[in-house]
Amino acid sequence: MDKNSKIVIIGAGIFGLSTAAQLASEGHRNILVLDRHVPPVPDGSSSDISRVIRFDYADDDYLRIAHEAYLKWQQSAKYKGIFYSAPYILTGNTSEHGQSWIKKTTAALTQRNLPWQKIDDAAEAKKKYPVLSGALAGGSNFFGYDNQQAGWADASKAVSQLRDDCIELGVSFISGRAGTVVALDTDPNKKITAVRTLAGTSVEGDHFILTAGAWSAGLVPMYHSTLATAQAVGYVRLSESEMQKYADLPIYANFSTGWFNFPPHEESKMLKMAVHGWGYTRTPNREEQRAMGKHADSSPPMIPPRERRNFAPVEAEQRLRQGLCEILPELGDRPFDRVALCWYTDTPTGDFIMDFHPDYANLFIGGAGSGHAFKFLPVLGEYMSLALKKTLPSQLAQKWRFRKDYATQEDAFVGDGSRGGPIRRELHTQERAKL
Ligand SMILES: Cc1cc2nc3c(=O)[nH]c(=O)nc-3n(C[C@H](O)[C@H](O)[C@H](O)COP(=O)(O)OP(=O)(O)OC[C@H]3O[C@@H](n4cnc5c(N)ncnc54)[C@H](O)[C@@H]3O)c2cc1C
Ligand SMILES: *[C@@H]1O[C@H](CO)[C@@H](O)[C@H](O)[C@H]1NC(C)=O
Ligand SMILES: *[C@@H]1O[C@H](CO)[C@@H](O)[C@H](O)[C@H]1NC(C)=O
């Protein structure tokens, strides 16, 4: 790519912003980022008070890259006040399903000489972390370990910093209706010449990079290789004394339900929890289909961008509460300050996509975070840039390739082995109205 050619990036989440910053630092002089809203985008998947940072992966590629990213989060002065260290406890139940993912993950850590500590039962977990007052799995029905090298990041702060890096590097932004892409104009050679926006304007470019997260499938055919799924998050407000009491709360993840928590967030005084599960789908409504084409099987609401609504399906809220009761029963009947749904862009294997779109001559796709991409923020742009130049190591190019082979598969979304809980379902009409 010519350093003066115009690169248009659609979507200012971590995929789009990290790519913009990387390309600008490599000397590209004409980069424009479009988004529905100024980043951090309130309903974008990269925005919230927290995201877990860990390198516990069963897959050695993700483990290695996540470790590389973790060292940056932990050591770089840049992430001071954004990244916080915290131990990470991974548990499943003693069933086959509960054990297999954890066994594979610990084997992968051992292979790389990275330390982890087995926890034999709930009593041992409680002894090591006295703040965990709950029954946990109870008795000996406990299978898990902890990793002291983990933590969490203030996601919206990290995104704000990345946005500012982009601005300092000379990247331009258009947000709002004039930054909201509704269609792609192509020439007879399948080259995109411009994108059209909700404001009726047209934005020309030489290269286009689509990093629109859960909304991407609304703009181009994804051949059923991605599925946008909504996942539940809950926030409990803590008092000053509770903030102190729970200051050393570890991250506790129960992989048989997908429930996990974050340590308290100092500025907001929130104790946050979420369910990493199969989630909910939302078929785009008629208006959205008319505006965006009929590509997406599921999509978050398109307009207007706004704070996530205080809503989660009833059973999702129950699951959030049940997990809380298992580790901190004294907070079990505390009302949620708010609950919300946050969007994953899942792939059948849990792998990201960083590849050129097969239907266009100059469109690159980056994303499909599958609920676990945030932690890669410090290194994501480098991998996106390698993929753009087609110089990724071959096994990564293979892993992150654009796949058309799911197009004919009825339901390929079986996940990477890390999801728990009830199967995915479509949101009801009454639920959709509350989003
Ligand atoms: C509840 C939840 C918990 C998570 N927890 C973790 C975690 O603990 N650890 C971890 O590593 N990862 C986690 N993740 C995953 C991680 O946050 C995501 O993988 C990542 O943020 C996705 O980034 P993105 O850039 O692809 O998407 P986004 O941040 O959503 O960015 C896409 C952007 O595109 C814009 N856009 C959409 N359509 C258009 C359009 N037509 N025109 C212009 N702009 C458009 C949107 O406004 C949006 O800003 C979690 C995700 C969720 C939802
Ligand atoms: C493990 O968890 C699953 C899902 O929650 C449950 O169906 C199963 O009974 C549990 N098994 C054990 C041994 O606890
Ligand atoms: C995980 O959650 C399930 C269902 O709530 C529970 O039965 C099990 O004891 C939990 N396991 C651990 C290790 O906390």
Per DSSP, the three-state class of 396 is helix
Q: What is the pLDDT along the chain (435 residues), one digit of tens a residue?
A: 899 999 999 999 999 999 999 999 999 999 999 999 999 999 999 999 999 999 999 999 999 999 999 999 999 999 999 999 999 999 977 777 778 888 999 999 999 999 999 998 899 999 999 999 999 986 667 889 999 999 999 999 999 999 999 999 999 999 999 999 999 999 999 999 999 999 999 999 999 999 999 999 999 999 999 999 999 999 999 999 999 999 999 999 998 889 999 999 999 999 999 999 899 999 998 888 887 666 788 999 987 888 999 999 999 999 999 999 999 999 999 999 999 999 999 999 999 999 999 999 999 999 999 999 999 999 999 999 999 999 999 999 999 999 999 998 877 776 555 676 778 999 999 999 998
- pTM of the full structure: 0.96
Residues paired with 197 in a beta bridge: 181
Residue 371 phi, psi dihedral angles, 5° rounding: 75, 10
Q: Measured between alpha carbons, how far is 272 from 338 in angstroms, rounded to an integer?
A: 10
How many angstroms does the Cα of residue 320 sit away from the middle of ligand 2?
Answer: 17
Nearest ligand to the C-alpha of residue 142? 3
For the chain, what is the total number of helices (H) and then of strands (E)? Answer: 11, 22
Q: Measured between alpha carbons, how far is 367 from 351 in angstroms, rounded to an integer?
A: 9
Segments in 136-220 forming alpha helices (H): 155-168
Is 98 a pocket residue for ligand 2 (Cβ < 6 Å)?
yes
Ligand 2 probe mutation, 102, 256, 319, most atoms within 8 A of CB? 256
Q: Is 143 in contact with 99 (CB distance < 8 Å)? A: yes
Tokens of 205: 């470019």
How many angstroms does the Cα of residue 243 sit away from the middle of ligand 2?
Answer: 32
Residues paired with 185 in a beta bridge: 194
CA dihedral 420, 426, 429, 434 (to 10 degrees): 40
Atom of ligand 1 nearest to the CA of 41: 49
The DSSP call for residue 197 is E
CB contact set of 157 (below 8 Å; sequence gap of 6+): 81, 82
Q: Which domains does the chain carry?
A: 7-433 (3.50.50.60)
β-strands 31-35, 172-175 pairing: parallel
The two most distant CA atoms of the chain are separated, in Å, by 68
CB contact set of 146 (below 8 Å; sequence gap of 6+): 87, 88, 89, 90, 116, 117, 119, 125, 128, 250
Residues paired with 265 in a beta bridge: 270
Per DSSP, the three-state class of 8 is strand
